[in-house]
Amino acid sequence: MKKNWPNLAALPLIATAALTAGTASAAEIKEVRFGVEASYAPFESKSPAGELQGFDIDVGNAVCAKLKAKCVWVENSFDGLIPALEARKFSAINSDMTITDQRRQAIDFTDPIYTIPNQMIAKRGSALQPTPASLKGKHVGVLQGTIQETYAKARWAPAGVDVVPYQTQDQIYADLASGRLDASFQDAEAASKGFLKKPQGAGFEFAGPAVSDDKLLGAGVGYGVRKNDKALKDALNGVLKELKADGTIDRLAAKYFDVKVVLK
């Protein structure tokens, strides 16, 4: 997805730590601890009762069921997911994290599972477009640590766009609805299900076409794992392949998304 890790200075140190840490045998995988930032519907969010829900949660539970392993979900801010993974707070990142070259400097990834277009939302009739010229002097909210933040700061900020990072997506939607932001930039499905189709999103719409940039926005979402955890990576890849082949991930995607997202 969505998401990136801005602390470039720490990458070499973290990569070194990953190479020196221990590793587990695939046969010993009795529990998978997934790191998640739970405010990004429909990928991961909380029900009114406080239970985790969403596409990534459902797929993660299906993965654990296939592995006959216990699923444990560990909540963490998105921009802190990679450092927390390296600190062994959990064993894998399952939080709509897009695979990018920058992230690969610090951690490894499973094969891509799905891909989601990135799109901006703004007030209906604003005529705003996701271009530097259109957004000059405007305030655009992005989730801190995401690929959208990286893209906006690289492509829009130099042209005079005020790119405003937030700790959670819900804070962005609140400020957009209140008029403190002119636009927000995120996954199209997150924008649709998490804001536009809710009462809070009345009067807002997608502003302009989807934004593509393979270098900054990546080309697919996978699970992030520590560089030395080959056993876990191989196990996850094997199970994800099975869940794609038997149609499980497609069925779960149809529950949440309006467009086909699963990568074969």
32 in Cβ contact with 180 (< 8 Å):
no
Q: Is the pLDDT of residue 10 over 80?
A: no
What percentage of the chain exceeds 90 in pLDDT? 76
Read off the DSSP letter of residue 193. Answer: I
Q: Which of 9-18, 45-54, 90-99 has the lowest mean pLDDT?
A: 9-18
Interval 206-210 mean pLDDT: 95
Q: Which domains, from first to last, does the chain contain? A: 8-115+219-256 (3.40.190.10), 118-216 (3.40.190.10)
The better pLDDT of the pair 24, 16 is held by 24
pLDDT digits (tens, 9 = 90+) for 63-94: 999 999 999 999 999 999 999 999 999 999 99
Go through 18-47 and write b for each residue having 16 or more CB atoms within 10 A of its CB, e for each that does not: beeeeeeeeeebeebbbbbbbbbbbbbbee
Structure-block tokens of residue 140: 């655009």
Q: How many Å apart are CA 188 and CA 68, to the nearest integer?
A: 33
152 in Cβ contact with 161 (< 8 Å):
yes
CA atoms within 13 A on the CB side of 199: 0
Interval 218-239 mean pLDDT: 94
Q: Is the pLDDT of residue 238 over 60?
A: yes
Interval 223-247 mean pLDDT: 96
> What is the pLDDT at residue 2?
54
Supply the angle between the helices 248-256 and 230-245 in degrees, to the nearest 10. 80
Confidence band, pLDDT 50/70/90 cuts, at residue 218: confident
Supply the angle between the helices 55-67 and 248-256 in degrees, to the nearest 10. 160
Element containing residue 187 per DSSP (H, E)? strand 183-187
pTM of the model: 0.72
Confidence band, pLDDT 50/70/90 cuts, at residue 27: low
> What is the pLDDT at residue 7?
43
130 in Cβ contact with 207 (< 8 Å):
yes
> What is the pLDDT at residue 165?
98
> What is the pLDDT at residue 19?
32
Q: How many Å apart are CA 216 and CA 138, to the nearest integer?
A: 22
> What is the pLDDT at residue 8?
38
CA dihedral 72, 77, 81, 85 (to 10 degrees): -50
